[in-house]
């Protein structure tokens, strides 16, 4: 396992995806824990395309300031692999919570959906469409507040929304 990513001290792995790993790390400069998403590439030709996507995600998410969206703090590159640094949100995903606890009471489900929809409406006001909203991309903090994350395949709309579906 990595010991450092840039100036950040890696503490442990939080999760893995097909082409990414998310680490819990410590930022000695700001003295706080952060989550770092790294990308790894099977082929060199994928690298440029994926780096562009990761940079786009950093630009996208950095424009969004909302209490129900996990903010991005920084973007960089370490050992030729790009990374994004996010606020570390304690808790688990809504998917994990549902798996462990089962269906939510209707009133609680409505509370969560309202907060998630507020976050998505905020993104839409900035012409950003998430395009991968699902329970595994919603973190539930210890206070039960949902935080939308992973805008990795978000789309920035240059025109107002239309009825057409991609």
Catalytic residues: 132
Asked if 165 and 71 touch (Cβ cutoff 8 Å), the reply is no
β-strands 32-39, 92-93 pairing: unpaired
Which helix (H) or strand (E) is 25 found in, with range? strand 20-27
Task: Give the torsion sign (CA, 153, 154, 157, 158).
Answer: negative
Asked if 76 and 82 touch (Cβ cutoff 8 Å), the reply is yes
Cα angle 55, 58, 61; round to 5: 145
Phi-psi bin for 66: left (phi > 0), alpha (psi -120 to 50), beta?
Answer: beta
Please, which residues bridge with residue 74 across strands?
A: 85
Q: Please give the backbone phi and psi of residue 120, each rounded to the nearest 5 degrees, phi first.
A: -70, -40
């Amino acid at each position: 396992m990595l010991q450092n990513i840039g100036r950040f001290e890696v503490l442990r792995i939080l999760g893995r995806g097909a082409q990414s790993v998310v680490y819990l790390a410590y930022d000695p400069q700001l003295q706080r824990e952060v989550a770092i998403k790294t990308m790894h590439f099977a082929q060199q030709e994928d690298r440029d395309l994926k780096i562009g996507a990761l940079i786009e995600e950093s630009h996208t998410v950095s424009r969004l300031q909302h209490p129900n969206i996990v903010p991005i703090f920084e973007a960089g590159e370490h050992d030729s692999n790009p990374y994004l640094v996010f606020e570390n949100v304690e808790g688990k995903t809504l998917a994990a919570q549902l798996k462990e606890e089962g269906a939510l009471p209707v009133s609680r489900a409505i509370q969560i959906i309202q907060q998630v929809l507020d976050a998505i409406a905020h993104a839409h006001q900035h012409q950003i469409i998430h395009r991968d909203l699902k329970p595994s991309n919603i973190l539930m903090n210890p206070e039960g507040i949902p935080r939308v994350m992973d805008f990795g395949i978000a789309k920035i709309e240059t025109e107002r929304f239309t009825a057409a579906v991609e």
